[in-house]
Amino acid sequence: MRTGGPPPVLTAFCGHQKGGRITAGMLKSVHSPAYAHVLAKLVEMRKQAGLTQRDLARKLGREHSFVWRIETGERRLDVVEFLWVCQALGQDPAAVYRHVVRAILAGDGMFPVSEPPVLKAAETGPEYRKRRRN
């Protein structure tokens, strides 16, 4: 059992340490610049296909708001839905994925590759939620 002294440093899987402590909170991917790049690519492909959001929703058998929520980042697009959207737009999902990954890893200003998001492990759940609300 530990007594006194600083708490142990926990290195997060996706993070880094600065001065022996984890320094920032992990971003949710849907709010990251990298995900914004994915959404921009999807919108670009839809427009190149000459489809409106309503047209794409019809092709997917979904309501218009489904496409709108994805394109605005309000709703996360999972990998299976990504496949369906690419197919509905007449695109090869693997090629689109490769394009997006290359752009993100190239450090095109959309994602800070040298400093990945990190997990802030020092706060407990209730303390973190209080701070986030303020």
Q: Give the domain ranges of the chain.
A: 17-27+117-133, 30-105
Instruction: Please give the Cα distance from 69 to 65 (Å, whole number).
Output: 6
CA distances from 6 to 3, 10, 57, 61, 98 (A): 9, 12, 54, 55, 44
Q: Does the global pTM surpass 0.75?
A: no
Instruction: Please give the Cα distance from 17 to 3 (Å, whole number).
Output: 23
Higher pLDDT, 113 or 80: 80
Residue 73: both structure tokens together: 């980042």
Instruction: Please give the Cα distance from 59 to 89 (Å, whole number).
Output: 9
Instruction: Please give the Cα distance from 39 to 76 (Å, whole number).
Output: 10
Over 70: is that where the pLDDT of 111 sits?
no
Q: What is the mean pLDDT of residues 14-20?
A: 43
Condensed to tens digits (0 to 9), the pLDDT of residues 49-71 reads 999 999 999 999 999 999 999 99
pLDDT score at 3: 57
Task: Note the CATH architecture for domain 30-105.
Answer: Orthogonal Bundle (1.10)
**Contact indicator for 84, 77 with CB cutoff of 8 Å:** no
